[in-house]
Amino acid sequence: MKDIKKEIAAVIAGAVEGLDAEGVEALIEIPADSSMGDYAYPCFRLAKTFRKAPPLIAADIASAISGSPLFEKVQNVNAYVNMFLSKEEFAKTTVDEVLEAKDAFGRSDIGGGKTVIVEYSSPNIAKPFHIGHIRSTVIGNSIYKLYDALGYNVVRINHLGDYGTQFGKMITAYRHWGCEEDVRREPIKTLLSYYVKFHEEAEKDPSLDEEARETFAKLEKGEKEEVELWQWFRSESLKEFSRVYDMLGISFDSYAGESFYSDKMPAVLDELREKGLLKESQGAQIVDLSEWNMAPALITKSDGSSLYITRDIAAAIYRKKTYDFYKNIYVVASQQNLHFQQWFKVLELMGKEWYKDCIHVPFGLVSLEEGTMSTRHGRVVFLEDVLNRAVEKTREIILEKNVNTESADETAKTVGIGAVMFQELSNNRIKDYTFSWDEVLNFDGETGPYVQYTHARACSVLRNAGADIEKLAAGHIDWSYICSDAAYGLVKLIYRFPETVAEAADKFEPSVVTRYIVDVAQGFNKFYHDEHILTDNEDERNAKLLLTFAAMQTIRNGLALLGIKAPEKM
Spatial contact of 66 and 101, defined as CB atoms under 8 Å apart: no
What gap in Å lies between CA 232 and CA 524, rounded to an integer?
52
Amino acid, res. 122: S
Confirm if 157 and 252 have CB atoms less than 8 A apart.
yes
- How far, in Å, CA of 133 to CA of 513, rounded? 21
Distance CA 308, CA 304 (A): 13
By CB atoms closer than 10 A (0-12, 13-18, 19+), residue 108 is: middle
What is the spatial distance between Cα 526 and Cα 140, in angstroms, rounded to a whole number? 33
Per-residue model confidence (pLDDT) at position 442: 73
Half-sphere exposure of 256 (CA within 13 A, CB side): 21
pLDDT along the chain (570 residues), means of 10: 92 93 96 93 94 96 95 96 97 97 97 97 86 93 98 97 87 94 89 90 93 90 92 89 95 94 92 95 94 95 83 96 98 95 98 98 82 61 88 90 84 94 92 79 84 96 94 94 96 97 98 98 97 96 98 98 95
Spot the catalytic one: 5, 102, 130, 431: 130
Q: DSSP secondary structure string, 519-566?
A: HHHHHHHHHHHHS-SS-S-HHHHHHHHHHHHHHHHHHHHHHHHTT---
Q: Which residues pair with 328 in a beta bridge?
A: 117, 358
Let me know: does 4 contact 494? Beta carbons within 8 Å. Answer: no
How many whole angstroms separate alpha carbon 512 and alpha carbon 425? Answer: 9
Options 127, 320, 352, 544, the catalytic residue: 127
Chain CA centroid to CA 391, Å: 22
What is the dihedral sign for C-alpha 51, 53, 59, 61?
positive
Q: Which residue among the candidates 5, 87, 92, 133 is catalytic per the annotation?
A: 133
Q: Which pLDDT tens digit goes with each residue over 350-379?
A: 999 999 999 999 999 877 676 665 655 566
Q: How far apart are CA 158 and CA 299, in angstroms?
A: 23
Cβ(114)–Cβ(504) below 8 Å? no
133 as an active site residue: the answer is yes
Q: Is 532 a catalytic residue?
A: no
Question: Mapping DSSP to helix (H, G, I), strand (E, B) and coil, where does residue 186 land?
Answer: coil
Sheet holding 327-331, edge to edge: 153-157, 115-119, 327-331, 358-361
3-state SS assignment for residue 518: helix
- Domains contained in the chain, CATH given: 4-85 (3.30.1360.70), 115-368 (3.40.50.620), 401-561 (1.10.730.10)
How many other β-carbons are positioned within 10 Å of the β-carbon of residue 228?
A: 10
Whether residue 176 lies in the annotated active site: no
Q: What is the DSSP string of 417-466?
A: HHHHHHHHHHS-TT--EEE-HHHHT--SSSSHHHHHHHHHHHHHHHHHHT
Please name which of 109, 65, 104, 72 lies closest in space to residue 87, comparing C-alpha atoms. 72
pLDDT at residue 373, rounded to an integer? 57
Tell me what pLDDT residue 220 has.
Answer: 82
Residues found in the chain: 570
Cα 288 from Cα 407, distance rounded (Å): 61
Cβ–Cβ under 8 Å, residues 18 and 50: yes
Cα–Cα dist 61/39, whole Å: 14
Tens of pLDDT, residues 49-61: 899 999 999 999 9
d(CA 136, CA 115): 20
The residue type found at 498 is P
Let me know: does 299 contact 308? Beta carbons within 8 Å: no
**Helix-, strand-, coil-residue percentages of the chain, each rounded to 5:** 60, 10, 30
* pTM metric for this prediction: 0.91
